[in-house]
Amino acid sequence: MVIGSVMIFGGGISGVQCALDLADSGYKVYLVEKKPAIGGVMAQIDKTFPTNDCAMCIMAPKLVACARHHNVELLVNTQLTAVDGKVGDFHVTLTKKALKVNEEKCTGCGTCALECPVEVIDEYNEGMRRRRAIYITYPQAVPMKYCIDQKACIGCGICQSECRANAIEYDQTDKTINLNVGAIVLSPGFEAFDPTVRPEYGYGRFKNIISRIEFERMLSATGPYGGVPLRPSDGDAPTRIAFIQCVGSRDEKSGNTYCSSYCCMAALKQAVIAKEHLDNLEVHIFFMDTRAFGKGFEEYLHRAEHEHKIIIHRNNRIADISEKKNQDLILRYHEDAEIHEEAFNMAILSVGARPPSESRKLSDILGVQLNEFGFCETDDFTPFDTNVPGIYVCGMFSGPKDIPDSISQASGVAGKISALLKDARNTLTTVPEYPAERDVLGEDPRIGVFVCHCGINIGGIVNVPEVADFAKTLPNVVYATRNMYTCSQDTQEKIKEAIRDHNLNRIVVASCTPRTHESLFQNTIRDAGLNAYLFEMANIRDQCSWVHMKEPREATEKAKSLVEMAVAKSRLLESLSAPKIKIKQAAVVIGGGLSGMTVALRIAESGFETHIVERSDKLGGHLNRIYHTLTGINPQEVLKESKKMISNNDKITVHLSSKIEDMSGYIGNFESHLSDGTHIEHGVTIVATGADEYKPDEYFYGEDKRVIRQTELGEMLAKNKFKAKNVAIIQCVGSRNQDSPNCSRICCFTAMANALEIKKRHPDTNVYILYRDIRTYGFAEKHYNEAARQGVVFVRWDTDMPPEVSKEDGQLVVRVHEKFIDDDIELRPDLIVLNAGIRPNPDNSEIARRLRVPLTNEGYFLEAHMKLRPVDFATDGIFLCGLAHSPRMIGESIAMANGAAARALTILSKPEIEVEGIVSVVDSHKCTGCNTCIEICPYGAILLNDQGIAEVIPAACKGCGCCGASCPENAITMKHYTDEQLLAEAIAAIRGVT
């Protein structure tokens, strides 16, 4: 028997993504988090590279969605104690530590924390701020439930007497929870390296040396100094700061010889943001190598250096730091073959990633194997499988990586599990049921108003009875009352009763913010037979009582006005239907390389018909030409195995030598015509078109047989045709230059793989790697170290003096200026290997046009969001993975392909999906077909119909309202935010202000 539920350990962004994808595909999810709130490390981050997006802005909607999802159960403050059973049927025992606050009753109002007399160091702000003993971990915490820090609480009893919701339970004890699940996911995240382990960096000794995380909190608007970095020693804003990279990464002394993968970009981002916050700030970054290998990262590095004037020191490891009398810091470093000394006001240690503290415990209880560093052991071709069947890993625990890679891996795990547990799909999930909706069309508005005291949060400042009495005087208001906590369970019953007793058809709640509470009340009124959109909120707490605390009179007047506005809008509210659209449960995958094959297999294994459309005459793409990898797995065998699985799967149809001639339709309902004449109706489309290897026109490539590319070297080695005695491998050929500004990501790995293979087979051959930066990120760093140990010679050049290849008497000569020793070097190799970069598939632009999805300037496909939606397009129902997105490693492509499959399965797994009611509609009598709305809709949700009139596809519309404000004929109405409704609200406000 297989159980249709999954338990996820770790509520960081990876765990949250995995939970959402699984819950949306028909599985019950238990999300277990050891802290009192989900959000993980990302919740601490101010901005994210390479878009400088506000982390909380992009993350909060996902956290809230997770908390609201009726098939996700959040178990916070909870840890694993024991596990039994096997794949498909695990018995898990958990311990939920007492929060000392009743989660059902706590409304998150925060009165308790205001009055708590015990101040404690706030971990969220890295100790630069205090919190109280009763607290939430961060201001936007999900769930928004307070808890008592039992180590700090002195038991004074104040919080209990302050709490109007009676939520404080001092006698609450730890609880044991037993659950039965089909699969387990580990996403416990990571921890930052403790810099005190390396005393030579002076952390803890010198006040003005801080860690990267402390600096991140300083940069945050919600941080201790409101976003301005200040020197810890004297509170002055610094004018010169330095970042020291690789602290606790790539470091033999601490044993962390791996690279933490994200710190280079994190430092660049912090440097750029710091300069935005402080004019005239001079920022130096001391890099070993600049590892800007992700999508658009090299361009970010370039802009940081040339536009923002960040001073970049390459090939540096700071050896010594001392402190001046004024507590400035003196850094000693190496440049131009000389030692320099410079003083800085502040230095930031870019501390690396360590395995999470509970990794040992998880490993002991679950029997999961850890690698030499304490991270979870996985391999390239199964990037999220642990050694225990049914237990998977995602995010940082499988190795350091950035957020988008964590997200694709998290979705990937969901894809894997979705296929694994397919027989139990939809067995444990529930669909909330509501009574039939009352038709209120044509009825006069009968408005009920509920004004909330929110304990003393509103009631302590705003005169709530006065507001409620005022509400009664407003036209169409037939019922108004006030509640201590409108969000409490018993008030929901009272609201339903009032709807029935007074025949109400519009509800207004005046309390906190709709961002967190609207859906709660909407569900309540649905329970009483009203359409969810007949609801409106007045935010009289967050935007009134809390911001006018010293002006109770004005706050009361404003609260009345806010209620009047909400009532004015509610009068014009309409029931909106959320139509259901049928899903054609089949997938089209464009591209039959490793990624395309992986996506197809996962979707087909989950039980859905899948078509692979491949332009060439065979499957496998570039994998056909790869013979060895760094981890020793034979790619050719993997390829053979995948091909066999595809031919054995009767759900998969392969269309070779074919392409998409035309695709029309929208999520759930696409129609494609292939060049081979096939016509397919499908619900989702996945783009896995891969990329091409650059064909160099430099260095005599194609003219001289002694100059070859890395793939040709791999083939030469595999076929025993390699004879050279001196090999020069040149990196970054056709990457990181004007034509192709970004890094090709895989070439440093191939260089190491090939160099080590040469050394293994021909130990006497001399190998020279001519590089700009070595970017063997993550655990691959050990292969770089190994290559150095094997005697591979590394020669560093820079773009001002790149290697030159000439021929003298038929002999190949390489001349290069070595940066570290600042001297010219001459090599006379008998083989030159060019590590040619990756170029986007030239077919991309045609495919992009047919699918109406965007490309980057370089010609890769552009995903919906660079950080949090790596495998989605903005257009619903279309996904991407592999090198169609950007250059990536085999394991990363596999993870991403599984991720794309998981996202596609969230749609395919349902026969129909419910569409959001807040969409725009076109008045066909007014529309002239001018195309304006079609051009500006970011989701391709508007199409011209047969009559030449614009038509909105509700399934694709996200409700932003851009079209409504743009229509020159005023023919578009944005439902729920119509001109009339918004103006009624605004005009009520103008009349109301006295």
Indicate which single residue of 894, 918, 942, 956 sits in contact with other proteins (rule: CB under 8 A).
Answer: 918
Beta carbons of 643 and 619 less than 8 angstroms apart:
yes
Cβ distance to other proteins smaller for residue 92 or 544: 544
Indicate which single residue of 546, 572, 575, 645 sits in contact with other proteins (rule: CB under 8 A).
Answer: 546
Cβ distance to other proteins smaller for residue 532 or 918: 918
Window contacting other proteins (CB under 8 A); options: 96-104, 544-552, 669-677, 902-910: 544-552
Indicate which single residue of 117, 255, 842, 938 sits in contact with other proteins (rule: CB under 8 A).
Answer: 938
Burial class (CB in 10 A: 0-12, 13-18, 19+), 476: middle
Show the 3-state SS of 250-281.
CECCCCECCCCCCHHHHHHHHHHHHHHHCCCC
Beta carbons of 904 and 686 less than 8 angstroms apart:
yes
Window contacting other proteins (CB under 8 A); options: 5-13, 281-289, 502-510, 935-943: 935-943
Indicate which single residue of 78, 561, 750, 906 sits in contact with other proteins (rule: CB under 8 A).
Answer: 561
Q: Is 949 helix (H, G, I), strand (E, B) or coil?
A: coil
* CA 262-59-73 angle, 5° bins: 115
Tokens 């049921």: give the residue: 433
CB of 932 to other proteins, least distance (A): 5
CB of 234 to other proteins, least distance (A): 23
519 binds other proteins (CB under 8 A): no
949 binds other proteins (CB under 8 A): no
Alpha helices in 909-947 (DSSP H): 932-936
Angstrom distances, CA of residue 126 to CA of 7, 190, 204, 345: 30, 16, 13, 20
A 10 A CB-CB count for 761 gives 11
CB of 13 to other proteins, least distance (A): 16
Distance CA 796, CA 706 (A): 22
Cβ distance to other proteins smaller for residue 647 or 966: 966
Window contacting other proteins (CB under 8 A); options: 258-266, 326-334, 355-363, 929-937: 929-937
Indicate which single residue of 499, 562, 599, 769 sits in contact with other proteins (rule: CB under 8 A).
Answer: 562
Q: Which DSSP helix (H) or strand (E) runs through 217? A: helix 212-219
Indicate which single residue of 125, 137, 140, 841 sits in contact with other proteins (rule: CB under 8 A).
Answer: 140
Distance CA 771, CA 104 (A): 59
The residues in 59-98 that bind other proteins, with binding defined as CB under 8 A, are 60-61
Q: Please list, in sequence order, all residues whose beta carbon lies within 8 angstroms of the beta carbon of residue 84, skipping any fewer than 6 positions away.
A: 90, 91, 92
Indicate which single residue of 557, 609, 773, 872 sits in contact with other proteins (rule: CB under 8 A).
Answer: 557
Window contacting other proteins (CB under 8 A); options: 55-63, 389-397, 588-596, 753-761: 55-63
Show the site string, 201-230: x = touches other proteins by CB under 8 A, - = not.
Answer: -------------------xxx---xx---
Question: What is the length of the chain?
Answer: 994
Window contacting other proteins (CB under 8 A); options: 414-422, 559-567, 783-791, 842-850: 559-567
According to DSSP, the β-strands at 726-733 and 660-666 are unpaired
Indicate which single residue of 121, 319, 821, 965 sits in contact with other proteins (rule: CB under 8 A).
Answer: 965
Window contacting other proteins (CB under 8 A); options: 57-65, 605-613, 718-726, 728-736: 57-65
Distance CA 485, CA 492 (A): 10
Q: Is 549 helix (H, G, I), strand (E, B) or coil?
A: coil
Beta strand ranges found along 365-430 (DSSP E): 391-393
Distance CA 858, CA 856 (A): 5
Window contacting other proteins (CB under 8 A); options: 2-10, 271-279, 352-360, 930-938: 930-938
Distance CA 837, CA 709 (A): 10
977: DSSP letter: S
Cβ distance to other proteins smaller for residue 63 or 368: 63
CB of 383 to other proteins, least distance (A): 30
Cβ distance to other proteins smaller for residue 330 or 962: 962
Burial class (CB in 10 A: 0-12, 13-18, 19+), 481: middle
* CA 947-952-958 angle, 5° bins: 165
Cβ distance to other proteins smaller for residue 453 or 548: 548
According to DSSP, the β-strands at 346-351 and 209-211 are parallel
Q: Which amino acid is at 277?
A: H
Tokens 């709640």: give the residue: 509
970 binds other proteins (CB under 8 A): yes
Q: Is 325 helix (H, G, I), strand (E, B) or coil?
A: coil
434 binds other proteins (CB under 8 A): no
Distance CA 146, CA 68 (A): 18
Cβ distance to other proteins smaller for residue 519 or 636: 519
Beta carbons of 440 and 34 less than 8 angstroms apart:
no
Structure tokens at 89: 């049927």
Distance CA 621, CA 884 (A): 12
Indicate which single residue of 51, 102, 254, 519 sits in contact with other proteins (rule: CB under 8 A).
Answer: 51
CB of 458 to other proteins, least distance (A): 11
Cβ distance to other proteins smaller for residue 561 or 731: 561
961 binds other proteins (CB under 8 A): yes
DSSP string computed for 15-75:
HHHHHHHHHTTT-EEEEEESSSSB-GGGGG-SEETTTTEEHHHHHHHHHHHHHH-TTEEEE
CB of 959 to other proteins, least distance (A): 6
CB of 598 to other proteins, least distance (A): 28
Q: Is the peptide bond before 232 cis (omega within 30 degrees of 0)?
A: no
Separate counts of helices (H) and strands (E) for the chain:
23, 52
841 binds other proteins (CB under 8 A): no
CB of 188 to other proteins, least distance (A): 26
Q: How many residues bind to other proteins according to rule CB under 8 A?
A: 73
CB of 542 to other proteins, least distance (A): 3
Beta carbons of 128 and 224 less than 8 angstroms apart:
yes
Cβ distance to other proteins smaller for residue 561 or 570: 561
CB of 920 to other proteins, least distance (A): 10
520 binds other proteins (CB under 8 A): no
Beta carbons of 770 and 816 less than 8 angstroms apart:
yes
Cβ distance to other proteins smaller for residue 591 or 961: 961
Indicate which single residue of 115, 123, 377, 542 sits in contact with other proteins (rule: CB under 8 A).
Answer: 542
Indicate which single residue of 264, 864, 902, 922 sits in contact with other proteins (rule: CB under 8 A).
Answer: 864
Beta strand ranges found along 809-873 (DSSP E): 811-818, 823-827, 831-836, 838-840
276 binds other proteins (CB under 8 A): no
Q: Please list, in sequence order, all residues whose beta carbon lies within 8 angstroms of the beta carbon of residue 720, skipping any fewer than 6 positions away.
A: none
558 binds other proteins (CB under 8 A): yes
Show the site string, 723-762: x = touches other proteins by CB under 8 A, - = not.
Answer: ----------------------------------------
CB of 483 to other proteins, least distance (A): 20
Window contacting other proteins (CB under 8 A); options: 99-107, 307-315, 346-354, 558-566: 558-566
CB of 947 to other proteins, least distance (A): 20
The residues in 573-632 that bind other proteins, with binding defined as CB under 8 A, are none
948 binds other proteins (CB under 8 A): no
Indicate which single residue of 46, 49, 86, 574 sits in contact with other proteins (rule: CB under 8 A).
Answer: 46
CB of 741 to other proteins, least distance (A): 19
Angstrom distances, CA of residue 765 to CA of 125, 375, 759, 813: 54, 35, 7, 17
The residues in 99-128 that bind other proteins, with binding defined as CB under 8 A, are 110
702 binds other proteins (CB under 8 A): no
